[in-house]
Amino acid sequence: MIQGTGSDVGKSLIVAGLARVFARRGLRVRPFKPQNMSNNAAVTTDGGEIGRAQALQARAAGVPPSVHMNPVLLKPQSEIGSQVVVQGRMVGTARAREYQDWKPRLLAAVVESFEFLRAEADLVLVEGAGSASEVNLRRGDIANMGFARATGTPVVLLGDIDRGGVIASLVGTKAVLDPEDAALVRGFLVNRFRGDPSLFADGMALIAARTGWDSLGLIPHFPDAARLPAEDVLGLKGAERPGGKVVAVPVLPRIANFDDLDPLRAEPGVSVVLVEPGRPIPAEADLVLLPGSKTTIPDLAVLRAQGWDIDILAHRRRGGRVLGLCGGYQMLGTTLSDPQGIEGPPGTVAGLGLLDVATVLTAEKRLAAARGVSLPDETPFTGYEMHVGETAGADTARPLLRLADGRPDGAVSADGLVCGTYVHGLFADEAQRALWLGRLGAAPGPEAYEAVIEGVLDRLADHLEAHVDCERLLDLAG
């Protein structure tokens, strides 16, 4: 089990890299994260949803994603509350304090999923959540030491030297851990080192001496990590590419499935501009893309409060293109109704009015792989559906897509410049990305997106094999 001294120290990346390392050796590898918190989810082959990081780790291991790889997924709906997904299916919503009382009941599902994976694998690589040193949350814990103790799983602690204070964070974790928890920690790794590794040799020795844990590797910074799908919205931050066609994306508080943007961000002829609060949508945008949202009605209110609705309408009057994905599609309609109070108080709000459609949110969630063709060009696509709500109206008579089972999906305005769809993952499809780039007057780059991801995973595995004691990790796993 890879636990961390904090959030964003690289746990997901290291597990993905190790999954590829050991899968290349012929082992049956399965990734596992007991509890995850993310609105960037993936649809599994067994019809549920898990965190996007575990789907990437499954890909690295060469196996299909399963609900058992992330049995508890928390999807934040507010600053203090989340939707709770257990083994791929939503079971309710809970505020942060209420959720603490849920944890003991959820441990059984976590252990059940872990045992399911362990029975079919030679090696299970477990990813912790947040920080192992959050001992104030230790009671009922299912994400870190609580899980490790319940299953007898050996732990390797990962620190991030790039953020500073890595010696204190590793030694300090040992200091605050319960002795029985600390006994499960067998070694440590230091991630994201820059410079001459010999300059930190004394640091590695000091950590080992103060903790009694084995030093398992000093991992240099791996720049290509930025090319892999990010699970946290913070992973979207970064310099915008100058020049090229401009795709403007308003960054809403509960943005979801934002890995839809990754293939576009990788295109050399495209500049994806992430429009932060307080900034206008750029007038030079060729496409305004409204991404998915975990809470569509509240995010629509934020969009209006930022004045982005005015910017989008002005963009449209100038002849600009607008695309809505899932929740963004719902925002483009005339009305959005929540009669059951799924996202908050029951009610109906006005949409942006750019499509003649209306949406009613429903309790039932659709989770399914999707394939078919776009219309009217009959270009094939693959992707997935993950949404609540039903959308209908005059513009659905011009669907954007036709699914393989014959169902239409999405809507297109009469002039063809505004459209929306419930299908995620369109831009990861080579044919669809080329189609959309052509509509913007751009051409796709020389590298296929899926090949880029595979290449990065292979280079990551090479990187870890060069700098981590992988043989010792296998010994620790027994």
Give the pLDDT confidence of 364-381 residue by residue, as tens digits: 889 999 999 999 999 999
Spot the catalytic one: 315, 387, 424, 463.
Answer: 424
Name the residue with tokens 């030679």: 122
Give the pLDDT confidence of 259-305 residue by residue, as tens digits: 899 999 999 999 999 999 999 999 999 999 999 998 999 999 999 99
Lowest-pLDDT range of 87-96, 246-255, 409-418, 445-454:
87-96
The two tokens of residue 150 are 């319940």
Is residue 68 part of the annotated active site? The answer reads: no
Q: Return the pLDDT at 349.
A: 97
Is residue 387 part of the annotated active site? The answer reads: no
Name the residue with tokens 């590829």: 20
Q: Once rounded to an integer, what is the mean pLDDT over residues 73-88?
A: 85
User: What is the pTM (predicted TM-score) of this model?
Assistant: 0.91
Residue 232 — pLDDT band, cuts 50, 70, 90?
low
Name which of 246, 353, 234 is nearest 304 in CA terms.
Answer: 353
| Distance from C-alpha of 94 to C-alpha of 104, rounded to nearest angstrom | 14
> What is the phi/psi pair of residue 450, to 5°?
-65, -35
Q: Return the pLDDT at 243.
A: 75
Residue 343 — pLDDT band, cuts 50, 70, 90?
confident
Tell me which architecture the domain covering 2-227+455-477 has in CATH: 3-Layer(aba) Sandwich (3.40)
Spot the catalytic one: 68, 326, 387, 470.
Answer: 326
Class of domain 245-441: alpha beta
- Do the beta carbons of residue 437 and residue 267 sit within 8 Å? yes
Give the pLDDT confidence of 134-171 residue by residue, as tens digits: 999 899 999 999 999 999 999 999 999 999 999 999 99
Q: If DSSP codes are grouped into helix, strand and coil, which group holds residue 238?
A: coil
| Distance from C-alpha of 450 to C-alpha of 413, rounded to nearest angstrom | 31
Residue 14 — pLDDT band, cuts 50, 70, 90?
very high
Q: Once rounded to an integer, what is the mean pLDDT over residues 243-249?
A: 92
Give the pLDDT confidence of 318-334 residue by residue, as tens digits: 999 999 999 999 999 99
Residue 189 — pLDDT band, cuts 50, 70, 90?
very high
Q: If DSSP codes are grouped into helix, strand and coil, which group holds residue 382?
A: strand
Name which of 264, 266, 256 is nearest 288 in CA terms.
Answer: 264
For residue 238, is pLDDT > 80? Answer: no
Contacts of 246 (CB under 8 A, 6+ apart): 270, 271, 273, 282, 284, 285, 286, 287
- How does 151-175 read in b/e, with b if 16+ C-beta sit within 10 Å? bebbbbbbbbbeeeebbebbbebbe
Q: How many CB atoms lie within 10 A of CB 229?
A: 21
| Distance from C-alpha of 283 to C-alpha of 243, rounded to nearest angstrom | 14
- Do the beta carbons of residue 190 and residue 159 sit within 8 Å? yes
Residue ranges covered by each domain of the chain: 2-227+455-477, 245-441
User: C-alpha angle 49/50/54, rounded to 5°?
Assistant: 145
**2-227+455-477 matches 245-441 in fold:** yes
